[in-house]
Amino acid sequence: MISWHNAPEYSRKGYLYKPEIHEDEEGIRKASHRCVNRIDPNDVMLSPHTPYHWMTQNEFNEFVDMMVRVRS
């Protein structure tokens, strides 16, 4: 189950994995996968990864690499 207590911490190319947890009216927790710039916290990228599981380190790395290429 998704919980703040087991949220992973990843970092790549100046971005940190900072997921947010939302709980619906039925008590089901879902994650929004936020990748936040370490220097500018207003620079946020949202991953479309499934809300029912945390991103793995590899999924996070691939997402950040792809987004950095798209933005440049």
pLDDT tens digits, 44-62: 999 999 999 999 999 999 9
Taking 50 as the pLDDT cut, the residues of the chain under it are none
The whole-number pLDDT of residue 71 equals 86
Q: Quote the domain boundaries for residue 42.
A: 4-71
**3-state SS class at 35:** strand
pTM: predicted TM-score of the whole model, two decimal places: 0.88
> Nearest-CA neighbor of 11 among 64, 54, 48?
64
- Residue 30 CB-half CA count within 13 A: 10
Give the whole-angstrom CA distance, residue 68 versus residue 43: 12
The whole-number pLDDT of residue 65 equals 97
Structural domain total, the chain: 1
The whole-number pLDDT of residue 25 equals 93
| Residue 18 near residue 41 (C-beta atoms within 8 A) | no
